[in-house]
Structures are given as C-alpha cells and as structure tokens.
C-alpha cells in the first residue's frame, strides 16, 4: 500500500507491504519409515515513512524511517529453527543553499537490528540473539565550479556497537559534463 500527501512546502509518503508463505512436504525415504518432513513458514513486513520539503527559502529537509520484520520457521523432521529479525533505519538530512555555486548537507542516521534464532535439534536447544546498531553523522559540500564541473567534499563518522569502534570516512568526488 502506498499513501502520498503533498503539503504546502513538501511531500509525505508512506509505504507498507506484508507477505506470508507456508509450505510443507513429506519426502519418501527408504531409511525413514514415515518419510522425511520439510516445512517452511515465512512472515515478512516492511514499511517506511518519508518526508521531503522546504524549511525556508534556502533550507531543505529529507527524512525517513523504515521498519522490517522477518520471521522464518523451518522444520526438518528432528530439527526446528525459528529465526526472526527486526530492523529499523532512520535518517534525516538538511541542506542549505548559499548560492547557485555552493550547497551544504548535514545529516544523521541510525540503524538498529535485532536478530534472534532458536534451534531445537533432537531435543537439544540452542539460542542466539544479536543486537547491533550503527549511528552515523555526515557533512558534505557541493561546489559547482562551472556548469560542466562540480565537486563534492565531505566526511562521515560511524559508531558500531558490535565492535565499539568509531570510523571516519572522508568523501571526495568530481563530476564533469562532456556533452
């Protein structure tokens, strides 16, 4: 499903989707009297909301948030696997246009992923949970040297909770029009 709404100074959009599948079979096997059972069930949801608009004559904003939820159940005769993952991603970017030749972008984003897996193998249980997130911030400038030549210069910093590290990434690009 998609929903769109235009405001005086921007555009709001919402999207959502859900899927479900359930499949099973019994494979004949000479070594297994009742056959080899295989079952698979999936339930997946994805949704996002975003807004793009003007804050003022020279400031713009782009923002969004998404959520996905995936759940899988796998059944193989003596083994059962239950896997679920929930992920959220949020981002906001503001841009300031100083003139026709110079523009700045500032932004931040957050990823959060929660994964859980439970395995039952011949009455023995194994469980695993991973919670990870990444927090990022960036700044970037756009410089138009002429109508045929442009540069982007900036940097990004990210924090990863799984390694407890902060990483800095410089950004530099150039574009030239040959037409």
Among residues 130, 125, 134, the alpha carbon closest in space to that of 161 is found at: 134
pLDDT of residue 13: 97
User: How is 148-172 classified by DSSP, letter by letter?
Assistant: TEEEEEEEEEEEETTTTEEEEEEEE
Structure tokens at 79: 């083994």
- Averaged pLDDT, groups of 10, the chain, 179 residues long: 93 96 89 85 96 95 97 90 96 96 97 96 91 96 94 97 95 93
Q: What is the pTM of this model?
A: 0.80
Pinpoint the alpha helices (H) of the chain. Answer: none
Contacts for 31 with CB less than 8 Å, ≥ 6 apart = none
pLDDT digits (tens, 9 = 90+) for 97-125: 999 999 999 999 999 999 999 999 988 99
pLDDT of residue 78: 81
The kind and range of the H/E element at 78 are none
pLDDT of residue 122: 84
């Amino acid at each position: 499903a998609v929903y769109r709404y235009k405001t005086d100074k921007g555009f709001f959009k919402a999207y959502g989707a859900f899927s479900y599948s359930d499949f099973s079979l019994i494979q004949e096997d000479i070594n297994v009297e009742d056959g080899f059972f295989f079952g698979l069930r999936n339930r997946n949801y994805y949704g996002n909301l975003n807004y793009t608009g003007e804050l003022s004559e020279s400031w713009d904003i782009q923002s969004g948030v998404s959520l996905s939820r995936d759940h899988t159940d796998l059944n193989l005769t003596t083994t059962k696997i239950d896997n679920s993952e929930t992920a959220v991603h949020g981002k906001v970017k503001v841009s300031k246009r100083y003139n026709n030749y110079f523009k700045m972008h500032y932004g931040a984003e957050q990823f959060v992923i929660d994964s859980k897996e439970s395995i039952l193998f011949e009455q023995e249980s194994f469980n695993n949970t991973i919670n990870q997130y990444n927090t990022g911030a960036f700044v970037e400038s756009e410089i138009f040297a002429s109508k045929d030549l442009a540069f982007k210069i900036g940097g990004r910093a990210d924090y990863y909770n799984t390694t407890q590290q902060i990483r800095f990434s410089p950004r530099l690009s150039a574009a030239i029009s040959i037409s």
